Amino acid sequence: MIPTRRARLSGLGPDARRAAGERSPHARTAPARLAGRASALCLSLLLGALPASANEDMPMIYPDTKRVDVVDHLFGVDVADPYRWLETDWRRDAEVARWVDAQDKLARSYLAGLPECDAFATRLAALFDHEQFGVPEKRGGRYFSPRLAGLEAQATLVMREGVNGRDRVILDPNRWSKKGDVALAEWAVSQDGSHVAFAMQEGGSDWRRIRILDVDGEAFLDDELARVRFTTIAWARDGSGFFYARFPDAAADEGFETPVAGHAVYFHRLGTPQAEDRLLFETPDRPNLLNIVCVTEDGRYATVSSMPGAGGNALAIVDLEDPAWTPRVLVAETTNAWALVGNVGTKLFLSTQKGAERGKIVTLDLADPDGRFEDLIPEGDAALREAVLIGGRLVLSTIVDARMRIERFRLDGTPDGTVELPGIGSAGGFTGRADDAEAFFVFTSHDAPTTILRYDVAKNAATVWAEPKVEADLDAIEVEQRFFASTDGTRVPLFLVRRKDVADPAPTLLYGYGGYGISMTPFFSPATIAWVEQGGVYAVANIRGGGEYGKAWHDAGRMANKQNVFDDFIAAGEYLKSEGITAPGGLAIQGESNGGLLVGAVVNQRPDLFAAALPGVGVMDMLRFDRFTGGQFWRQDYGDPGQEADFRNLLSYSPLHTIAPGRNYPAILTLTADTDDRVVPGHSFKYAATLQAADLGDRPRLLRVDRQVGHGAGMPTGKAVDQLADMLAFAARWTGLTVEAPR
What does the DSSP assignment read for 617-630?
S----TTTGGGSTT
Of residues 507, 477, 625, 484, the one with CA closest to residue 562: 625
User: At residue 720, does pLDDT exceed 80?
Assistant: yes
Of residues 590, 627, 592, the one with CA closest to residue 706: 592
User: At residue 38, does pLDDT exceed 50?
Assistant: no
Classify 356 as helix, strand or coil. Answer: coil
In angstroms, rounded to a whole number, what is the distance separating the alpha carbons of residues 394 and 412? 9
pLDDT more than 70, % of the chain: 91
Q: Contact at 8 Å (CB) between 457 and 479?
A: no
Q: Which segments within 629-718 are labelled E, that is strand?
A: 667-673, 701-706
In angstroms, rounded to a whole number, what is the distance separating the alpha carbons of residues 603 and 599? 6
- pLDDT of 743 reads 76
- CATH entry, 49-126+473-735, from 3.10.100.10, 3.40.640.10, 3.40.50.1820, 3.40.50.620: 3.40.50.1820
Catalytic residues: 593, 711
Give 155's contacts (C-beta < 8 A, 6+ positions apart).
25, 28, 29, 30, 132, 134, 146, 147, 148, 173, 183, 184
User: At residue 369, does pLDDT exceed 90?
Assistant: no
The mean pLDDT of 239-253, rounded to a whole number, is 85
As a whole number, the mean pLDDT across the chain is: 91
Buried b (16+ CB within 10 A) or exposed e, 380-401: bebbbbbbbbbbebbbbbbbee
pLDDT band at 8, cuts 50/70/90?
very low
Query: What are the pLDDT digits (tens) for 186-228?
Result: 999 999 999 999 999 999 899 999 999 999 998 999 999 999 9
Query: What are the pLDDT digits (tens) for 608-651?
Result: 999 999 999 999 999 999 999 989 999 999 999 999 999 999 99
Give 629's contacts (C-beta < 8 A, 6+ positions apart).
206, 256, 258, 259, 260, 677, 678, 680
Given its phi and psi angles, is residue 334 left (phi above 0), alpha (psi -120 to 50 degrees) or beta? Answer: alpha
- At residue 721, φ and ψ (nearest 5 deg) are -65, -45
- pLDDT of 255 reads 66
Q: Contact at 8 Å (CB) between 13 and 637?
A: yes
Q: Contact at 8 Å (CB) between 229 and 206?
A: yes
User: At residue 553, does pLDDT exceed 90?
Assistant: yes
In angstroms, rounded to a whole number, what is the distance separating the alpha carbons of residues 439 and 462? 9
Query: What are the pLDDT digits (tens) for 581-607?
Result: 998 999 999 999 999 999 999 999 999
- Taken in order 387, 390, 393, 395, the sign of the CA dihedral is negative
- pLDDT of 738 reads 96
Query: What are the pLDDT digits (tens) for 650-668?
Result: 999 999 999 999 999 999 9
Number of H helices, E strands in the chain: 11, 40
Per this entry, what is the length of the chain? Answer: 743
In angstroms, rounded to a whole number, what is the distance separating the alpha carbons of residues 334 and 336? 6
Within 13 Å of residue 51, how many CA atoms lie on the same side as its CB?
6
- Taken in order 442, 445, 450, 451, the sign of the CA dihedral is negative
Q: Contact at 8 Å (CB) between 670 and 703?
A: yes
Residue 357: other Cβ atoms inside 10 A:
18
Strand ranges across the sheet with 383-390: 383-390, 393-400, 403-409, 415-419
DSSP string, 138-159: EETTEEEEEEE-TT-SS-EEEE
In angstroms, rounded to a whole number, what is the distance separating the alpha carbons of residues 454 and 466? 9
In angstroms, rounded to a whole number, what is the distance separating the alpha carbons of residues 314 and 263? 14
- For residue 511, the surrounding DSSP H or E stretch is strand 506-511
Hey, what amino acid is at 539? A
Give 250's contacts (C-beta < 8 A, 6+ positions apart).
none
- pLDDT of 44 reads 28
Query: What are the pLDDT digits (tens) for 294-352?
Result: 999 999 999 999 999 888 999 999 999 999 999 999 999 999 999 999 999 999 999 99
- Taken in order 432, 437, 438, 444, the sign of the CA dihedral is positive
Name residue 364's beta-bridge partners.
348
The mean pLDDT of 69-77, rounded to a whole number, is 98
The mean pLDDT of 462-482, rounded to a whole number, is 96
